[in-house]
Structure 1
C-alpha cells in the first residue's frame, strides 16, 4: 500500500490524497487551492496522476478546499463513484455552481480561464452516491470504507478505509466540541494509519463564551459609533453559526436596533439547506428547530439574494451589520463592502474564520495599512478583530484528544491540512509526549505502508 499527498501538504487548502493498494486506487477529497495567484495557477495545472485509473472518490465534506476540483477530475477522465453523506451531496452542488460563477467573473481578470465548465459539473453530480454515517460500503475495485461524524460542518465526515487488513483513517476536518448546531465528533477507536488535519495544530482556541462576548462588543461599538460591522463568513457553517448566535442574542433582547444583512447568495441557499437536515443537529439545535423551525433568522435580518438587493445596502444608513462571503476576503460580495468601508475608522471587521497565507484576510490580520482589491490599494483604517472561538476546526487540545482516543497505537500518523512549521512542531510533540510515529508530508510525497 502507498499514500500520496497531492494537496493540503504543508498548507491548508487543496485536499487531495491518493491511496493505492494493488490495483485499488481511492482518492480522498479533491479540493481547490485557495489564496492568491499562485494557488489559482495550481488549480489550473494538470493532475499529477491518471484520473481515469482512480476507482472511487470519497469526499469528507463540501468546503471548496475539499471539493473544488471534482469537476476537473471528471473532465480528466475519472468515471468512478463519488461517495459522501447525503447532506454533503446536496451542499456540494451549490458550492460548485457558485465557484464556477465566481471563476467566470473573476478568474478571467487574472488571465486564467475557469478550470471546469457546466458540463463537467453536471457529469460530476451524476457520479455522487450518498451514504449514511456508519454504513460499511463495498464498491468496485476493492474499495471498502465507512464514514463517521466529524463535527466540523453539516454533513462532514471522517473516513475509515479498509485495505489489506488495515484501517486507514482520514480525520477530514474535525470540529470543536460544544460548537452549535452540529453533533460532536465521533471519536475513533481503531486505526493502523492515520491522516489527521492540523489547521490549528499548535493553537488553543479562546473559550466559547469569548465568541459571543466579542460579537456583542462589536455590535455595541458599531451601534454606538454609527459604523458598519463587516463579518466575512464562509457560506457553509460559519454563516449559520453567526446567525445562530445573533438569533440567541435576539431572544435575550441583546441585539442593538439596527439592520442586519445576509449578503451572500450561496450562504442564503446553504442556510435553506440546513433546514432539511435536523437529523444531524445536536440536541440543542433540534430543540430550537422544533420551537422556531426558522432558528437561523431573527427580526431586522434582511436577505439580499439579487445584485439589485445587495446594492441597496450601500444606501442604508449606518449603523448596520453585513454578513458576506468569501470568508477569506478574496472574492464574493464582501470585496465591494471592503472597498467602501475599510477606509472608515468607525468600521469593524470581525474575522471569524481561518485566513490562508496569501489571502486578503491574512494581510488584514497582519496589520497591513493598505490591501490590494481589484487592482488598487485600499487604505485600512477599520478596526480588525479576530475571533478564534468561531473556528469550526479542532484546536491543539481537541486534536490530541482525538488521536489519543485510538486504543492501539497507529503505526504512522500523517499531519496534513496545516501550515508546515506548526505541523512539524505538533509532530515532534506527538513523538515526544505520546511516542507516536508522526510525519508531515510534502506536496506530492509518497509513503509506502507495510
Structure 2
C-alpha cells in the first residue's frame, strides 16, 4: 500500500533559527527539532504563534542537538498536547536538560521584569512562553538515549539512524528510512553540520545515500578562515587589550563554543601566546554545567582530545574562575583591566554578557570579541555592523571599545564543507533550510544549480510531497 510522504517546515524556513521540520508518512508523524526563533522582536514574537500543526498529532520527536534554536520550543510543544517520545543522543539529552531549564528560568525572570515595568502595551512580554514546571514536564518525554549508528524502529515501516554531525557535543544528522511495502524512501536531515579538523569533536559523518536531503545553509555562501589564523587573531586581540590595561569581553555560546575557547585560552597561556597573569572568567552557569557534561561524554570526542583528557584537564589554567552566583558575576565588573570574560548569550540578546557590555563597551581600552554567528536583529549584530550607540537595560551606551569579529571558530560548516558532506551521490532533491535567505541559502542554491543538483527552498508551513 503506497503511503504518501509530506514534508513541511515550521521554522528555519528561509531563515536561520526556529528549526522545526514535520514529516507525515501516512498517518504517522515525525517531528525533527522544535527550536526557538531568535533575533529581533519580530522573531521572538513568532515563538508564541501556533506551530502550524497539532502537537498532539506528532508521534515522535527526533532532536538533532541541544542548541536553543533546535530544542527551545519543546516545553511549549508538550504543553499544547504532544505526548510522544523524544529521541536524542545521551549527550544531547543531558545538555537539553540544562538548556531548557535555563531558558525557562530566563523567560520567567523577563516576564517578572516586564510586569514590574508596567509594559501593558505588550502583554506577551509579561507572560513567559513556558515555565520551569513546563520544562521539567517536557523532560519526562525523553526516551532512552540513542547511540550513533544505531537503527531505531519508530513505527512499522519507519526507522531512524543518528549519525555524528560534529557540530556540538552529541549533535547528529538523522537518516529516516520509510518503507510502505511498495517502495523505500530515504530522507536525511543534516541538523547543523560541524567543521572537520576541530580539536574537541570528531569530524562529521558524510551524508549517506538518500532520495531527499534537508541541508542547513548557515554559511552556505562562503568559506571560513583557517583555524590557525583564527586562533592567532584571538591571541592578538587579548594581548593588545591586556597591554593597554583593558578587559576582553567574549560573548559566548554555552555549548561547545565556550569549551573550545577555554581550550585555546589554556593552550595560549601555556605556550606563552597570552600573558600568564591574564585572569579568565567563565561567567555562565549554563556553560559551566555544559563543561562538566562535556567531561562525561568521551564517546563524542576526537581521539586526540580524549588522550589529552587522560593526561589532565585541557580546560584548566592558573587564573581561571567560574562564576555561578549572581554576586560572583557582579564582582567581575570591578575588574579595571587584564581580564578575559566569557559570558552568554553569544548573540547578546540576554544573559550576563549584557551587564559586562554595559560596564566595558564605552571604554576605549577594552575589546569585545565576537566568535560566533550574530543573527539579524540581535544586539551582537548591531555592534558588529558598526552601531555608534546601543541600548542596554534602557540606557544608551556608546560603542568605544575595539570590536573584533573572528568567524573562523564557527561550529557550522562553510560552503565547501557542506558540499563535501552532501557528496555527489544522486539525490532527487536537496531542500535548503536553516539559513539567511539573501545570503547563505540563495548562494548555496546557485551553487547546487551549477553542479546539476535539484534543490528547493521551502516556505514556512509549505507542504512538499516527497514521492
- Whether these two folds match at TM > 0.5 is yes
> Does residue 1:188 correspond to 2:216, yes or no?
no
User: Structure 1 140/449 Cα, relative in aligned 2: closer, same or farther at 3 Å?
Assistant: closer
- Name the counterpart of 1:85: 89
Equivalents in 2 of 1:106, 1:59: separation in Å?
27
* Residues 115-154 of structure 1 aligned to structure 2 (within 5 Å): 115-129=129-143, 130-140=145-155, 143-154=158-169
Give the match's secondary structure for 2:134.
helix
Preserved CA contact (<8 Å) 1:325 1:333:
yes
Preserved CA contact (<8 Å) 2:105 2:131:
no
> Does residue 1:231 correspond to 2:229, yes or no?
no
Measured against aligned partners, the alpha-carbon deviations of 1:112-141 in whole angstroms (never above 9, x if no partner) come to: 411112332222211112110111111246
Equivalents in 1 of 2:333, 2:397: separation in Å?
18
Measured against aligned partners, the alpha-carbon deviations of 1:199-228 in whole angstroms (never above 9, x if no partner) come to: 000011001012211111011111110001
Preserved CA contact (<8 Å) 2:101 2:136:
no
Give the match's secondary structure for 2:230.
helix
- Name the counterpart of 2:279: 259
Equivalents in 2 of 1:320, 1:2: separation in Å?
53
Equivalents in 2 of 1:193, 1:178: separation in Å?
27
Equivalents in 2 of 1:59, 1:329: separation in Å?
25
> Does residue 1:324 correspond to 2:343, yes or no?
yes
User: Structure 1 141/103 Cα, relative in aligned 2: closer, same or farther at 3 Å?
Assistant: farther
Equivalents in 2 of 1:313, 1:25: separation in Å?
49
Residue 142 (structure 1) shift: 5.1
Q: Which runs of 4+ in 1 moved over 6 A?
A: none
- Name the counterpart of 1:308: 327
Match of 1:272 among 258, 274, 292: 292
> Does residue 1:46 correspond to 2:42, yes or no?
no
- Name the counterpart of 1:76: 80
- Name the counterpart of 1:8: 12
Equivalents in 2 of 1:312, 1:184: separation in Å?
39
Equivalents in 1 of 2:245, 2:262: separation in Å?
21
- Name the counterpart of 2:417: 398
Give the match's secondary structure for 2:248.
strand
* Residues 236-385 of structure 1 aligned to structure 2 (within 5 Å): 236-256=255-275, 257-292=277-312, 294-385=313-404
Equivalents in 2 of 1:102, 1:355: separation in Å?
20
User: Structure 1 97/141 Cα, relative in aligned 2: closer, same or farther at 3 Å?
Assistant: farther
- Name the counterpart of 1:29: 33
* Residues 190-205 of structure 1 aligned to structure 2 (within 5 Å): 190-205=209-224
- Name the counterpart of 2:429: 412
Give the match's secondary structure for 1:191.
coil
Measured against aligned partners, the alpha-carbon deviations of 1:300-325 in whole angstroms (never above 9, x if no partner) come to: 01111101111111223312110000
Residue 107 (structure 1) shift: 4.3
Equivalents in 1 of 2:393, 2:30: separation in Å?
40
Preserved CA contact (<8 Å) 2:372 2:410:
yes
Equivalents in 1 of 2:408, 2:151: separation in Å?
34
Give the match's secondary structure for 2:340.
strand
Structural RMSD (CA): 1.2
Preserved CA contact (<8 Å) 2:167 2:195:
yes
Equivalents in 2 of 1:150, 1:112: separation in Å?
38
Measured against aligned partners, the alpha-carbon deviations of 1:29-79 in whole angstroms (never above 9, x if no partner) come to: 000001121122111122211110101000000000000000110011100
Give the match's secondary structure for 2:174.
strand
Unmatched 5+ residue regions in structure 2? Answer: 115-121
User: Which deviates further from its counterpart, 247-256 or 381-390?
Assistant: 247-256
- Name the counterpart of 2:174: 159
When the two structures are aligned, how many residues end up with a matched partner?
Answer: 446
TM-score by length of 2: 0.93
Match of 2:463 among 441, 446, 449: 446
Equivalents in 2 of 1:162, 1:123: separation in Å?
30
Equivalents in 2 of 1:232, 1:141: separation in Å?
46
Give the match's secondary structure for 1:305.
coil
Equivalents in 2 of 1:60, 1:205: separation in Å?
23
